Chains A and B, each alone.
Chain A
């Protein structure tokens, strides 16, 4: 079964609005990471949140983690056209050797 599952699968918003993407997972984790992929490009690490953390900020990004619900959210504030990309969550299980388990991703489109 899939470990990380993002929703929504696709999100289209106006520039300047906030974008929220969610991720759910199934097993106990060591940490959860969010990555971005621009079309045809590689995956870029955005932020990592450990299992003992509840919230983390990085610039316009805010990530929350609820281990009781096995879920995380990524909030991008004041979105820009350049934020248009696919966003993936990936988890590292407690019993793994840093193997990332990925969700299917959320395709975010920022309309100018």
Chain B
């Protein structure tokens, strides 16, 4: 069974440009999460989808970030326009319909460098 896949693995862009990160969760997992780790800081929650609905987006830093999950399958996270402080690793995770076990399955992350 394929795990959570993320694309691109690394993106280097200039300040002011736009980047779109993609996450393909494990097939059948209704829950999809985005987390990020900026340099030297702890991993922080961004948002949580249940199928195509945003269950919790309290961690989204500002309106330059837009996450979508059309059709309840893959998700995209767009940063527009990117700022220097957006640099970091963006992790996507998924979990089955019943998340009582709490275990999340993570992708390998998308490293974003904003110059």
Report A's interface with B, CB cutoff 8 A: 2, 4, 30-31, 33, 35, 40-45, 48, 88, 90, 92, 97-105
Contacts and interface: CB of A to CB of B under 8 A. Distances in A.
Interface of B: 4, 31, 33, 35, 41-45, 48, 55-56, 58-59, 91, 93, 95, 99, 101-109
A48 B106 contact: no
A4 B108 CA distance: 22
A42 B94 CA distance: 13
A98 B109 contact: no
Contacts of B55: 97
Contacts, number: 58
Contacts of A97: 48, 55-56
Contacts of B105: 45
A13 B58 CA distance: 39
A45 B104 contact: yes
Contacts of B58: 99
Residues of A contacting B: mostly: strand
Given A42-B109, A48-B103, A97-B48, 11 more contacts: A4-B42, A41-B108, A43-B43, A43-B91, A43-B93, A45-B103, A45-B106, A48-B101, A48-B102, A100-B43, A102-B42
B45 A100 contact: yes
7 smallest beta-carbon distances between A and B, as pairs: A102-B43, A42-B108, A43-B106, A42-B106, A45-B103, A104-B42, A102-B42
